Structure 1
Amino acid sequence: MDANELLKKVRKIEIKTKGLSQNIFAGEYHSAFKGRGMTFSEVREYQYGDDIRDIDWNVTARQNHPYVKVYEEERELTVMLLVDVSGSRYFGAMGEDKRQMIAEIAATIAFSAIQNNDKIGVIFFSDKIEKFIPPKKGRRHILFIIRELLDFSPEQQGTDIAEALRYMTDALKKRCTTFVISDFIDGHDFYKALSIANNKHDVTAIQVYDKRDAQLPDVGLMRVVDLETGNDRWVNTSSGKVRKTFNRWWYERQQKMVETFNRCRVQHASIATDEDFVKALMSLFKKRELR
C-alpha cells in the first residue's frame, strides 16, 4: 500500500470512527469501563439531600455553616488492544475483510478511550508477539495506531492467543482494560492464559468472523487455502455431507470458545464482517454496565 493510499484510508477510518465514538459510544464507554475509585475534588456548602457522612467538620466549624466534601471518579484508565494480525484476517467473502473491520472496531474503542482521558496501547500478535505499542494519549498516537492496523506486516501467519495474553499479563504491571480482537481461529487452548489475564486485568473479547468461516456455499468443486499455513485442498461443496461436517466443526468450535469465555467470566461479542459492528459494541457495553 503506497503512502497516499494509506493516508486516505487512515483519514477515512478516523472520520468514521471518531464520529461514532463522539456521538454514540462516549456515554456507554464511560459507564461500562469504570475508573479506579473516587478522589477528593472540592468542598462546597451543604445542600438538601447531601449525605451527612460527607460533611467536612473542620470547615463547618470554621465557617459556622455546614460544608461537604465532594468526590469525583478517578477516571483515567489504561486500555490495551490485543489485535490478531494472523493470515486469516485477510479473508472476506460476505463483507469487508476482517482486517478492515478489526481496524474500525479498534479505532472506535481508541477514540472513545482518549475522549475519556484514558491511555491506549496495542499488542499485535500472530503465533508470536509481533509488535508492542506502549499506552499513550492523544490524536497523533491514535492515528499512528490506525496506520499500523491497516499496514502492519507480521513476520508469522499463525495464531496463538495464549501467548498474547501471557505477554500482556507479564508486561503490564498495573490493572488495565483489555480488548482481545480476533477471529479466534486458534488451534491452541487459551483457557488458562485467559483466566490468569482476567484475574489481573479486565478482559473483553471481540470476535470478528466472516459467515463463510461458518458455512460452505454449494458451488461444486472448490479450491480452499488456509491463509495461516498455506495448505490447500479441493473440496466438493455440492456434497451435503461435506457441508454438514464443516458446519458441525464451526458450531463445536464456537461452543468451546463461548464456554471458555463464560468459565473465565469474560464478556464477549461475535460480529460478522457483513454486520453493523456499532450495534454489537453498544450491546456489549450495556451488558458490562449491568454486571
Structure 2
Amino acid sequence: MSEEDQIEEMMTRVRKLELKARRLVRESFSGEYLSSFRGQGLDFDDFREYAHGDEVRFIDWNVTARMNVPYVRKFREERELSVVMAVDVSGSADFGSKHLSKRELSAEIAAVLGFSALQNGDQVGLLIFAGEPVMFIPPAKGTRHLLRMIREILMAKPAQKGTSIEGACDFLIKSLRRKALVFMISDFHAESLDKPLGKLARKHETVALRVSDPLEEELPKAGRVVMVDPETGFETLVNTGNSNLRMGYKKLMRRQAEGIASVFKKHGIDSAKLQTDRDALPDLHAMLKRRGRRRK
C-alpha cells in the first residue's frame, strides 16, 4: 500500500471514529461528563446580604460598612477545564486479539471524552508517549484540533517501543502550569508506577483508564507457540498445552492487575478497566457515575 493510500485509509478511520464519538456524546455522555468534572476555581459574581449559615470569610467589610448590614461575596464556579489525554502508544498498545487493538480503543475513548469536553466548553490537549514523550499538543478548542489529536494517536510511530509512565508524568508536571484534568490511557505495563502517578495526582486531577486485551490475562490452550514481547522483541517458546503453566500465568497477571489497582487507590485516582473485546462505554459510564455521586 502506498503512503498516499495509507493516509487516505487513516483519514477514513478518523472520520468514522468522529461520527461514532459524536453520536455517543449526544446520546449519553455529555451530562455525565458535566456532573463528574468541575472547573478549577471560583469567579466573583455579586454581593448579597449575609444569611445565617454563610461563611464569615466571605463577608466583604467595605460593602458591609457602607450598607450598615453584613454583605457577603457570591461566587460562581469556573466551568472551563484544561483536559489532557495522555495516551500510551508503546509496542504493547498495538496488540489486539479481538475487535480492536489497545491503541484503537484508546483513540476511541479519547474521541468520546474529547467531544464531551468540547461540548462543555473545555479545552483539550494530548500527550502521546511510549518509552519517552513522543508528542505534546497543548490544550485548545475546536473540532479540527481534536481530530488532529485522534489522527496522531492512530499514526504515531515511537522510536522507543517501551512504556515509561514516569516519563509521561514528569513531562506533564513540568509542562502544565495550571491545574488540569489528566486522563492517563494505558495498559500500565511499566516498571515504575507508584511515585510518578502519586506526584501527578497531587498536582493535577488524574483519571486512569487501563486498556486490556483478554489474551493478556489468560493464555488459550494452543500448544507450543512462540511469544514475542512487542516492546523488547524478546522471543520465547511457550507450551500453552501445559495446564499448570496457564494457571500460573493467569495468577501472575491477576496479581499484576491488583498491584496496579492498589496504586490507583493509594493516590485517590479514579480508574476504569476497558477491554478490547467488549463495549468499553458501560465501564466508563460506571466510573463517571461514581465521580458524580461523590461530587453531589
| TM surpasses 0.5 | yes
Aligned to 1:283: 286
Aligned to 2:202: 199
Q: Per-residue CA shift, 1:31-72, capped at 9, x if unaligned?
A: 10001234345799x9xxx99979x9x8xx99xxxxx98754
Matched, 1:75 2:59: no
Aligned to 1:170: 174
Q: 1:52 to 1:259 in 2, by over 3 A?
A: closer
Aligned to 2:268: 265
Aligned to 1:116: 120
Q: Per-residue CA shift, 1:98-136, capped at 9, x if unaligned?
A: 111110001111111111111111111111111111111
Counterpart amino acid of residue 212 in structure 2: Y
Matched, 1:30 2:30: no
Q: Per-residue CA shift, 1:161-197, capped at 9, x if unaligned?
A: 11101110111111000000001111x1221111111
Counterpart amino acid of residue 236 in structure 2: R
- Written as runs of structure 1 = structure 2, the 5 A alignment for 1:92-171 is 92-171=96-175
Shift of 1:13: 0.3
Shift of 1:2: 1.6
State whether residues 204 and 266 of structure 1, in contact with CA within 8 Å, keep that contact through their aligned partners in structure 2.
yes
Distance in 1, matches of 2:11 and 2:164, equals 30
Distance in 1, matches of 2:7 and 2:131, equals 28
Distance in 2, matches of 1:52 and 1:261, equals 37
Give the count of matched residue pairs.
280
State whether residues 94 and 212 of structure 1, in contact with CA within 8 Å, keep that contact through their aligned partners in structure 2.
no
- Which runs of 5 or more residues in structure 2 are unaligned? none
- Which runs of 5 or more residues in structure 1 are unaligned? 63-67
Shift of 1:23: 2.1
Distance in 1, matches of 2:201 and 2:249, equals 32
Structure 1 runs (4+) deviating above 4 angstroms are: 40-44, 50-54, 68-71
Counterpart amino acid of residue 195 in structure 2: K
Q: Per-residue CA shift, 1:70-103, capped at 9, x if unaligned?
A: 7542111000111001001111113311111110
State whether residues 40 and 179 of structure 2, in contact with CA within 8 Å, keep that contact through their aligned partners in structure 1.
no
SS in 2 for 1:2: helix
State whether residues 210 and 274 of structure 2, in contact with CA within 8 Å, keep that contact through their aligned partners in structure 1.
yes
SS in 1 for 2:160: coil
- Written as runs of structure 1 = structure 2, the 5 A alignment for 1:215-254 is 215-254=218-257
Q: Per-residue CA shift, 1:211-258, capped at 9, x if unaligned?
A: 000000001111111111111111100001110111111011011101
Farther off after superposition, 18-27 or 76-85 = 18-27
Q: TM-score, normalised by structure 2?
A: 0.87
Distance in 2, matches of 1:139 and 1:130, equals 22
State whether residues 84 and 126 of structure 2, in contact with CA within 8 Å, keep that contact through their aligned partners in structure 1.
yes
Aligned to 1:15: 19
